[in-house]
Amino acid sequence: MSADAERIAAAAATLRRGELVVYPTETVYGLGADATNPEAVERVFEAKGRDRDKPVSLAVPDVAAAREYVHAPPRTRRFMREFLPGPVTVVCEKRDAIPDALTGGRERVGVRIPDHEVALALLDSFAPVTATSANRSGGANARRADEVPDEIREQATVLDGGETPGGESTVVDVERGEIHRKGLLADDIEAWLREQ
């Protein structure tokens, strides 16, 4: 097993134990935990100092995996195949496997498929994982592992994937035709929503 494969396997084992992992994405570093484990999700909120009524998204390795955790109607699936993996969060109706702790009791949850080889390798080993920035709530996003706040790094296994490009994912509810947050690819997404 290569050193990289060993790091991924160790991080996946950490997630299985309900503990935290910091991982790189195509935007910024994310804070991961088992998105189906309410206690693990609670650790994410505590580490970030995040209000419990602010939902956290989940990350999966591909569209097929997403459908295990959310209801994705045909139009949403077409959108996912067009834009994912990539810096986009797609809001969908959650399935029962997703705890209310993740969504603040809401029936919808954001889904990410990050376009980063380290993140995808981790998600191939363990999914779904929480997809939220590895920072204190309201603090600066981390583009390098050493920018992740000490309070979070001390509680997590850190997968260092070098410097990330930065930016934010665009958050979109395809079925409702709504963009909740404009980030990367927002213009392309708006065009797709108008044309499809």
DSSP letters for 45-86: HHHHT--TTS--EEE-SSHHHHHHHEE--HHHHHHHHHH-SS
Q: How many angstroms separate the CA atoms of 163 and 144, rounded?
A: 5
57-101: per-residue pLDDT in tens?
A: 999 999 999 999 999 999 999 999 999 999 999 999 999 999 999
Instruction: Convert 94-156 into a string of H (helix), E (strand) and C (coil).
Output: ECCCCCHHHHCCCCEEEEECCCCHHHHHHHHHCCCEEEEECCCCCCCCCCCHHHCCHHHHCCE
Instruction: Look at 173 and 4; give whichever has higher pLDDT.
Output: 173
Q: How many angstroms separate the CA atoms of 184 and 154, rounded?
A: 30
Cβ pair 55, 109 in contact under 8 A: yes
- Average the pLDDT over 110-126 and give the result: 97
36-65: per-residue pLDDT in tens?
A: 999 999 999 999 999 999 999 999 999 999
Cβ pair 19, 10 in contact under 8 A: no
141-158: per-residue pLDDT in tens?
A: 999 999 999 999 999 999
Locate the domains of the chain by residue range: 3-195
Q: Look up the CATH architecture of domain 3-195.
A: Alpha-Beta Complex (3.90)
Q: How many angstroms separate the CA atoms of 110 and 95, rounded?
A: 12
Q: How many angstroms separate the CA atoms of 166 and 142, rounded?
A: 8
Cα of 181 vs its chain's centroid, Å: 15
Mean pLDDT, all residues of the chain: 96
| Two structure tokens written together for 1 | 């097993």
**What is the band of 1 on the pLDDT scale with cuts at 50, 70, 90?**
low
| pLDDT, position 74 | 97
| pLDDT, position 2 | 73
Quote the percentage of the chain above a pLDDT of 90. 97
